[in-house]
Amino acid sequence: MTGDAPEPRTLTPLDQGDATFQLHKVLAERTTYKGRKALRVTDALPGGAEGNEDRLVVLGQTDFQDGVIEVELAGEPGPGAPGLARGFVGIAFHIAPDVASFEAIYLRPTNGRAEDQVRRNHSVQYIAFPEYPWHRSRRETPEKYESYVDLVPGAWTSLRIEVSGERARLYVHGAEQPTLLVNDLKLAGRRGPVGLWTGPGTEAHFANPRVTPS
């Protein structure tokens, strides 16, 4: 690497003060989960209500446009989760200052080993909130922003997202080939913080988020 190469910023939640986080429709606490120090994130909406896809822990000290985001995460439906809960868990980026819009790539862990092949095909999802939620993408461009990957609910899973201009590549479990290709990011070129993303009724754990701007 040259002397001008950006240094990665490792943002371990347990090592930073609460002031570095902005909680948006979620609750968060430090914990140890399956042998790792982690941030536990749960739904703050009553009864794990379904609806908007903007449940986030916005990470302070991140200013990201292009580059690499890495994290270890685990997700599963929490107690009292709605019937359609899948343990939704992922990463948001290009977040607006008021958290009114962002892009995200997330997992549906309970789909990974479902006995229904169509459901398996929906294991990974790209969205751009609020204009391009998952149901609009599935209706207007079926299969374009979704893919399959082997997942186990509640198990630690490594994610790596590479962003460059209008392109994003998702790598899961350290694979050499991407699980999901997005070639038309809706908010390409925006600079903003990175967030830990969860969906309705999810109990999520995050460890070792690492952001390397390019």
Over residues 159-205, the pLDDT tens digits come to 999 999 999 999 999 999 999 999 999 999 999 999 999 999 999 99
Residue 81 counted as domain residue: yes
User: Is the pTM value of this prediction over 0.85?
Assistant: yes
SS3 content of the chain, % helix, strand, coil (to 5): 10, 45, 45
**What local confidence, expressed as pLDDT, does residue 146 receive?**
98
- Structure tokens, 82: 């709605």
Residue 3 counted as domain residue: no
Residues in the chain: 214
Domain count for the chain: 1
Residue 2 counted as domain residue: no
Give the domain range for residue 208. 9-213
Residue 74 counted as domain residue: yes
Residue 198 counted as domain residue: yes
3-state secondary structure of 65: coil
Q: With cut-offs at 50, 70 and 90, classify the pLDDT of residue 81.
A: confident
CA distance 23 to 195: 10
CB 109 within 8 A of CB 153: yes
